[in-house]
């Protein structure tokens, strides 16, 4: 039995175990993938759930050094969808039995923005007979805003930490209160207290990032007891400050392989959470999302944003599918799911089983 096989027989992994697993070579990493596939089959089954993605706005108050829609990027055209455009995307999801959408936006926390989203949530539910589940991904907000959005019908929230190492976090963000690591942690804890299904995630293969950092990211997910995760390879963007450090990056294929191992290990560690197969995986490997599904992912996000806006919501370069209409994107992802040997959970909310378990234990 190899060292990798021996570690995989354990119920829990130490930081050192995770570093060893993340450094597994091409032969040994197959043991990780096989174990993750078995865990996925046993604990969450063979279904993949659609979350129709609506990129609501690229207006953002933050200046994160890695992001293409950062406030300091003056080379993109800023936009915001109309209520009608959002509700039409929601109706498409509803009529095509997605059962769930994700509304994503650059970070803003003004009262005007909070009220706009609150009213929009009511309109979406009215347009879809209250049957469409809504996930929001709109960054850090005051507690009152989170409460109002929850009461308006958004019961899932994705707030990516991007890196769990506070020292590395400082290298990727301006040093000010708007980009405070502990403030972001508190927002995640707040979302859990308010009753949301909570998701977070990290980028993999960043400049200055070590394998130990990635091991700590996995342990962070477990300690935070998250319900959902979305993570993938870091893809550089030429209009960002971090681009100057591209010479420090691993080759893209190595970032992809590390990302697959991260997905697989998270599935093994947190057996019944929801894990997205992110678009960034496909940026590097044409079959990237299928491979993620095979080693642990169970969520895909077809892009429902009107095509005319998509080139201005490029968080990273070479983002695929920006010219595909919603129906084309759906057909493509259906084929990818079947190629991965899975089935689509149409008309199912696909709530995190971990969340149901956590809520039951809490009560």
**Three-state DSSP class for residue 24:** coil
pLDDT tens digit sequence for 133-165: 999 999 999 999 999 999 999 999 999 999 999
Beta bridge partners of residue 154, listed in sequence order: 134
pTM over cut 0.85: yes
The DSSP result for 25-83, as a single string, is -TTTHHHHHHHHHHHHHHHT-SEEEE-EEEEEE---S---TT-TT-TT--SS---B--H
Average pLDDT (40-58) is: 96
pLDDT tens digit sequence for 274-286: 999 999 999 999 9
Mean pLDDT of the chain: 95
Residue 354 class from Cβ within 10 Å (0-12 exposed, 13-18 middle, 19+ buried)?
Answer: buried
Domains and CATH numbers, the chain: 3-362 (3.20.20.70)
Average pLDDT (113-134) is: 97
Residue 304 class from Cβ within 10 Å (0-12 exposed, 13-18 middle, 19+ buried)?
Answer: buried
**Three-state DSSP class for residue 157:** strand
What whole-number distance in Å separates Cα of residue 277 and Cα of residue 99?
Answer: 18
């Amino acid at each position: 039995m190899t060292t990798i096989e021996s570690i995989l027989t354990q119920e829990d992994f130490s930081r050192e175990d995770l570093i060893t697993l993340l450094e597994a070579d091409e032969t040994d990493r197959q043991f990780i993938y096989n174990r993750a596939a078995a865990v996925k089959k046993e604990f969450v089954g063979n279904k993949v759930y659609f979350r129709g993605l609506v990129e609501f706005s690229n207006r953002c108050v933050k200046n994160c050094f890695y992001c293409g829609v950062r406030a300091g990027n003056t080379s993109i055209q800023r936009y915001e969808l109309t209520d009608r455009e959002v509700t039409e995307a929601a109706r498409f999801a509803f009529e095509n039995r997605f059962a769930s959408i994700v509304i994503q936006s650059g970070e803003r926390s003004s009262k005007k923005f909070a009220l706009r989203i609150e009213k929009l949530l009511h309109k979406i539910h009215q347009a879809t007979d209250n049957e469409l589940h809504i996930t929001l991904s709109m960054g850090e907000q005051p507690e009152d805003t989170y409460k109002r959005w929850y009461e308006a019908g958004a019961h899932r929230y994705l707030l990516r930490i991007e890196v769990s190492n506070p020292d590395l976090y400082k290298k990727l963000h301006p040093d000010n209160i708007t980009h405070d690591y502990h403030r972001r942690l508190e927002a995640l804890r707040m979302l859990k207290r308010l009753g949301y299904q909570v998701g977070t995630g990290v980028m993999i293969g960043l400049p200055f990032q070590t394998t130990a950092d990635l091991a700590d990211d996995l342990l962070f997910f477990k300690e935070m007891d998250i319900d959902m995760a979305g993570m993938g390879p870091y893809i550089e963007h030429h209009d960002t400050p971090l681009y100057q450090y591209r010479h420090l990056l691993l080759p893209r294929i190595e970032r992809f392989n590390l990302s697959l191992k991260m997905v697989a290990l998270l599935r093994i560690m947190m057996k019944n959470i929801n894990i997205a197969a992110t678009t960034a995986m496909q940026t590097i490997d044409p079959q990237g999302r299928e491979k993620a599904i095979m080693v642990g992912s169970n969520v895909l996000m077809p892009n429902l944003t009107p095509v005319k806006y998509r080139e201005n919501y490029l968080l990273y370069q070479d983002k695929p599918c920006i010219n595909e209409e919603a129906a084309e994107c759906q057909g493509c992802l259906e084929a990818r799911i079947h190629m991965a040997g899975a089935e689509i959970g149409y008309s199912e909310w696909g709530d995190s089983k971990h969340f149901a378990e956590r809520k039951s234990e809490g009560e």
